[in-house]
Structure 1
Amino acid sequence: MAERARLDQPREVRRLFRPRPRRDPDPERFGRFAESTARFLGTARFIAWMTVFVVVWILWNVPYGPERDRWDAYPFIFLTLILSLQASYAAPLILLAQNRQEARDRVTQEQERDATAQANADMEFLAREVASLRLGLGEVATRDFIRGELRNLVSDLDERAESEGDKA
């Protein structure tokens, strides 16, 4: 008799054969990989290593290499396949890196545009403030003006004192 499932016990957990998703996927990870790859593909070191690789490949598979160990006889179809495969992966990685750089440049440009607009607004405000200060200073009595007025008052008082002294 087959064993019956008990209702008072939890079922056995069935294992799924799909990988569990990462807990903290980093959406920028592949972009950083593409940028570092594109950065490396644009260096003289990469060109030098690729040149060494191709020259060694060709020398190994032409009459200079061992006859029985040649795997890619003329016209180097396997080498062409490898280089085509490398190019087919390099091109999208380079394009992705360029798109990311373009997006960063666009954000930087927007920030610079905002900063320039803010600086222009600040300069216009300061220009208006300086103009209002100049207008305000036009109505303010200066030190020389006050001294002149005091001299005039002193001379008026002296004249009154002399005229009163002549009357008496």
Structure 2
Amino acid sequence: MNEIPEQAGECQVCHQHKSLADMLPANMVRSGMLRLVKEKVPHWDPKGYICFSCLNRIRSEYIEDLLEKDLGELDELEKEVVESLRENELLSENLNEEYEKHLTLGDRIADKVAEFGGSWTFIGWFALFILVWIGINTWVLIWRPFDPYPFILLNLLLSLLAAIQAPIIMMSQNRQEDRDRMRAENDYQVNLKSEVEVRIISEKLDQLLHHEMRRFLEIQQIQTDMLNELQERLQKTR
């Protein structure tokens, strides 16, 4: 009694004729791998066949492509995080420079005068000036002092100094309030930007984990298919 020959088919990838036991119907290829298969076989026929050796090679390329996409998404996420941090850092550093650009010469002089007038150096020199003034008009020029007691000229100079110094200090304080307001607005912008970026990064991480899980399940399904196919082939050889 003659043995019935086993049916054969042609693989659409390598175009070799093999036993149908060593081939898989084209319509059973997973949808995720179809894109890669159609790149290799433009005239892919869902009614045809593909051999297991070509299928396993395409599976390996598909898994490698999935892993490269994961690494690419991670690299892109790292770049976005670094760019965001760099923008925040520049925003904080440029605050004083931006404020200094709008200062006039009078504003700078007023700030220097207010800074010197509110220091111990000014108090020391001012006290020394008063003592020298009183000493000259009391002991040195005792017979013909230019500002005898009760030192009316000195009081006039002190009043004039106070009248000039007070508005200068007030102008400097107003600018300090403007600077504090700019700093508060800058801090608010940085905090708001950081909060938005944290949310965006969190959403991207969730998306990345979702894609990662989906690809992991897809890879696991491919491995399961390969194990099932290997088990079926082993059973047929027994």
What TM-score results when the alignment is normalised by the length of structure 2? 0.51
Alpha-carbon deviations, 1:51-71, whole Å to 9, x = none?
111010111122x22223312
Q: 1:124 to 1:27 in 2, by over 3 A?
A: closer
1:88 CA drift (Å): 1.2
- Residues matched between the structures, number: 136
Alpha-carbon deviations, 1:40-83, whole Å to 9, x = none?
21233322221111010111122x22223312222323222211
1:150 CA drift (Å): 2.5
Select the structure that is richer in strand. 2
Could you say what secondary structure the match of 1:118 adopts?
A: helix
Distance 1:160 1:137 in 2: 36
Distance 2:196 2:218 in 1: 35
Distance 2:180 2:137 in 1: 47
Select the structure that is richer in helix. 2
Greater Cα offset, 90-99 or 43-52: 43-52
Q: Which amino acid aligns with 2:212?
A: L
State how 1:139-150 maps to structure 2 within 5 Å.
Answer: 139-141=214-216, 145=220, 146-150=222-226
Task: Tell me which of 50, 57, 61 is aligned to 2:133.
Answer: 57
Alpha-carbon deviations, 1:89-143, whole Å to 9, x = none?
1111001011012112212321232222122111111101111121222221369
Residue 31 (structure 2) aligns with: none
Distance 2:212 2:141 in 1: 97
Alpha-carbon deviations, 1:16-47, whole Å to 9, x = none?
xxxxxxxxxx9823222211211121233322
**In the alignment, structure 1 residue 32 sits paired with structure 2 residue 108:** yes
Unaligned runs of 5+ in 2: 1-101
Unaligned runs of 5+ in 1: 1-25, 163-168
Residue 160 (structure 1) aligns with: 236
Greater Cα offset, 113-122 or 149-158: 149-158
